[in-house]
A and B are shown apart, each in its own frame.
Chain A
Amino acid sequence: MSDTPADRLARATPPTLARKVRGLSDRTIAWIFVAPTILLLLAINIFPLIWTIRLSFTNYRANRPNEPVEWVGLRNYERILTDPDIWQTMQATAHFLFWTLVLQVLIGFTLAWLINRKFRGNDLMTTLIVIPMMLSPAVVGNFWTFLYQPQIGLINYAVEFVTGIPASSFTMLGSVTLAPWAIVIVDTWMWTPFVMLICLAGLRSIPDYIYEAAEVDRASKWRQFWTMTVPMVLPFLMLAVLFRGIENFKMFDLVVLLTGGGPGDTTLLSSIELKREAFEKWRTGYSSAYAIILFVTVFGLASIYVKALNKVKER
């Protein structure tokens, strides 16, 4: 047996320390490694959450640190839940969330299904389709603001070309009825490629021999699609919906750039309203309560959804 440098180092190590190191259990060593991460998570996630919950029961204002802070009980929650304006922002958020998810799933899945077929230029097409999601929301917001401009925007001219309605006679971003759809269109344009990519991963994970077996059994293409393709891609699709749902629930930048929440409050999403309460009106306690309500809502919905997702995966 040779005498390696490691052996020599081990012999040179004071016996008490060596005994201590050797005496550590795997569990203890694991804790030593994990502890910094847990501490960091506590510091940057759990502590602020607890602090926010505490602030939500007060009238604290961050811009007036010298004023006494009063405990107001559930008053902030009561105010929020009985405020019709808050419910309107919830409604606007729900509208945005529902339609962006529906459109992105439908278009994303269709694109993935088409792209999945073998044809020349397939890779180039995929690359071109995913370009919008690579752009920054600031760029996309400004870009679409110009596209929607009634006098110089291409969208209005395209509508005029197709329908004959004069381009300058309507405005997408300034109209109460059209503005909510204008933001849905932009978000769909930007994020459908994301859904497409996830669906594409799902489609490509289905082994060819399953379809070959179905062909042997003379299953029609429609039947193959509904009984094989859709169920096997469904977990992927649900995952995409989860990601997009959470992202769009907190949508901020794109909508601020496009409409600023207007006209009136028609595109004022909850996240924009929360920012206004917290950092424009400086109602810190009130906005903390609002943030908690939004957190509970998204956490609750996401939990229910994840349970459903797990059931689908188990099938």
Chain B
Amino acid sequence: MKRTTLAASAALALVWAAQANAQTTELTLCWAAWDPANALVELSKDFEAQSGIKMNFEFVPWPNFADRMLNELNSGGKLCDLMIGDSQWIGAGAESGHYVKLNDFFDANAISMDAFVPATVTGYSEWPKGTPNYWSLPAFGDVVGWTYRKDWFERPEIATAFKEKTGRDLTPPATFAELKEVAEFFQGREIDGKTVYGASIYTERGSEGITMGVMDVLYSFGFKYENPDKPYDMAGFVNSPGAVAGLEFYKSLYDCCTPPGMSNAYMGEGIDAYKSGQVAMQMNFAFTWPGFEVDPNVGGGKTGYLVNPAGPDGERFAQLGGQGISVVSYSEKQDAALEYIKWFAQAEVQQKWWSMGGFSCLRAVVEDPAFASSQPYAQTFLDSMAIVKDFWAEPSYATLLADSQKRFHDYVVAGTGTAQEALDGLVADWTVTFEDDGKL
């Protein structure tokens, strides 16, 4: 009897030890539920094999991603050891103590931020911006650009009709004026027995959609977040004449050239409209591009890729997307999480990441001579990443974003007031937020 009890106790102890061991060698990575996340699951199998650490993943669909994950961080939750959080979260992540500062770790492991595309370091890793304080490793480069139906543009009858109507050749638009001209041309046109429309643009109200779309235009029309010489001084910059013209342009594009019912459209709706052959052009983040290449309707050379067009004065910027990977400060497995980051920063891992559909931010990958021709969209991605601007990354970014969502949707989709009133209102909203934060 005693021997049986002893054996049972030993077995229980072994199970407990095995469980305890398993607990210390499992990491949970939190990110949005989208195609790149699936690629990361595949990529991480190499890490599991090399390190013996098991990777778990917690993916949340984009519309709920910020709500779910910011709640997790704000409550000091231990669910995520690693977080690929949105670029705007860096300020809050750093100042609220959600993320581990990585400078010492980078120094100790010879990981240099100079090895990454500068825009992604500024956008995803630095807080305060422009200072060498790093809170994440650039993980997934992303930027808003455009896709167009190359196969339609190349059809002789369509090209001739366009030339007759506009007096110029049907070429991929280089300016917003040209983009609108092309969009107007396609709007309501019949192609292959189906009515098609000009362009799909962002109009979503609930999370960040319309802001990401509008800013994409406003930057190139002269919008600036603040006076470069006086932080948080926004009057005359946010609501400058150029910014007003840009917002008016975005509304005119929405009114003239979008498919019916696109009053609350973001990434998913844009993808659907483009893949189903509803629109000639589509505004969307670069992460969507690999999916188009393998799609039977728009893949196989039917799609062309465009850098965000230039504004009236020739200025050209694009809205930054993408994320960095951070270690959550509430994690009890920070050492293992740092080990993952060290593994992820390696050039060969980054090369594989790109080949699997992840947009690497490592210069060794994107500046490789073979990179530009490695995918039909690779050069456009590179050119776009060179002209990026990002939304506020302040700790109060969520409030600032909610205000811009309201002001832009009110004007662009609901048609309330004027562009000037919308941007004046935005200056007033943002001023209140910065006053509440004690920054004004």
Interface pairs (13), CB distance under 8 Å: A62-B74, A65-B96, A148-B261, A150-B261, A151-B261, A171-B260, A173-B261, A262-B263, A264-B414, A264-B415, A266-B414, A276-B402, A281-B399
Q: Which of A153-188 contact B (CB under 8 A)?
A: 153, 168-171, 173-176
**Complex contact B398–A281 (CB within 8 A):** yes
The B-contacting residues of A in range 119-163, CB under 8 angstroms, are 148-151, 153
A contact residues around B414 at 8 Å (CB) = 176, 262-266
B70, A174: Cβ atoms closer than 8 Å = no
Knowing A151-B259, A276-B402 are in contact, say whether A262-B395 is a contact too (CB < 8 A).
no
> Of A91-99, A244-252, A253-261, which stretch is located at the interface?
A253-261
B260 near A169: Cβ-Cβ < 8 Å? yes
Whether B205 sits at the interface, judged by CB under 8 Å, is yes
Which residues from chain A contact B192 at a C-beta distance below 8 Å?
none
Known: A59-B436, A264-B409. A256 touches B206 (CB 8 A): yes
B410 interface residue per 8 A CB criterion: yes
B97 at the binding interface (Cβ < 8 Å): yes
Known: A62-B74, A173-B264. 10 other contacts (CB 8 A): A64-B96, A65-B96, A85-B406, A151-B260, A168-B260, A170-B260, A174-B261, A175-B263, A260-B204, A262-B263
Q: How far is the CA of A266 from the CA of B205 in the complex (A)?
A: 12
B262 to A: closest C-beta gap in Å: 8
**A4 in the interface, Cβ–Cβ < 8 Å?**
no
A280 within 8 A of B: yes
Assess A265 versus B410: contact at CB under 8 Å? Given A63-B70, A63-B74. yes
| Complex Cα–Cα for A280 and B195 (A) | 39
A282 at the interface (CB under 8 A from B): yes
Say yes or no for B71: interface residue by CB 8 A criterion: yes
CB <8 Å contact, B264 and A174? yes
Closest chain A residue to B258, Cβ basis: A174
| Interface size class, chain A | 35 or more
**Does A279 interact with chain B (Cβ within 8 Å)?**
yes
Whether B67 is near chain A, meaning CB under 8 Å from some CB there, is yes
A176: nearest residue on chain B (CB-CB)?
B414
A66 at interface (Cβ–Cβ under 8 A)?
yes
CA distance in complex: A63, B92 (Å)? 9
Residue on B with the closest CB to A256?
B206
Which residues of chain A have a CB within 8 Å of any CB of chain B?
59, 62-66, 85, 148-151, 153, 168-171, 173-176, 256, 259-266, 276, 279-283
- Let me know if B410 and A66 touch, CB within 8 A: no
B206 touches which one: A64, A66, A261, A283 (CB < 8 A)? A261
Do the beta carbons of B416 and A264 come within 8 Å of each other?
yes
Q: Are A173 and B259 in contact (CB under 8 A)?
A: no
Contacts A63-B96, A66-B96, A262-B414 given: A149-B264 contact, CB under 8 Å?
Answer: no
Interfacial residues of chain B within 384-420, with CB under 8 A of chain A in the complex = 395, 398-399, 402, 406, 409-411, 413-416
Distance, CA A260 to CA B203, complexed state (A):
11
Q: Answer whether A171 and B263 are a contact pair too, CB < 8 Å, given A256-B206, A264-B410.
A: yes
Q: How far is the CB of B302 from chain A (nearest CB, A)?
A: 22
Cα separation A174 to B74 with both chains bound (whole Å): 34
B410 nearest in chain A by CB position: A264
- Distance, CA A63 to CA B97, complexed state (A): 11
Q: How far is the CA of A64 from the CA of B416 in the complex (A)?
A: 34
A203 to chain B, nearest CB (A): 42
Shortest CB–CB separation between residue B207 and chain A, in angstroms?
9
Q: Of A65, A176, A281, which contacts B402 at CB under 8 A?
A: A281
> Which B residues are in CB contact (< 8 Å) with A259?
205, 264
Contacts of A153 in B (CB 8 A): 261
- Min CB distance, B85 to chain A, in Å? 13
- Complex CA–CA separation, A149 to B263 (angstroms): 11
**Which of A64, A264, A279, A283 contacts B413 (CB under 8 A)?**
A264
Q: How far is the CB of A194 from chain B (nearest CB, A)?
A: 28
Nearest residue in B to A282 (C-beta to C-beta)? B398
CB neighbours of B206 from chain A (8 A): 256, 260-261
Q: B410 to chain A: which residues have CB within 8 Å?
A: 264-265
Cβ of B71 and Cβ of A279 under 8 Å apart?
yes
A62 to B71, CA, bound (A): 10
Note all chain B residues with C-beta closer than 8 A to A265. Answer: 406, 409-410, 414
**Bound Cα distance from A175 to B278, whole angstroms:** 21
Rank and list the top 7 A-B pairs by shortest CB-CB distance, nearest first.
A264-B414, A174-B263, A150-B260, A260-B206, A262-B205, A264-B410, A150-B261
Contact indicator per residue, chain B 177-206, by CB within 8 Å of chain A (1) or not (0): 000000000000000000100000000111
In the complex, what residues of B have CB within 8 A of residue A65's CB? 74, 96
Residues of B within 8 A of A262 (CB): 205, 263-264, 409, 413-414
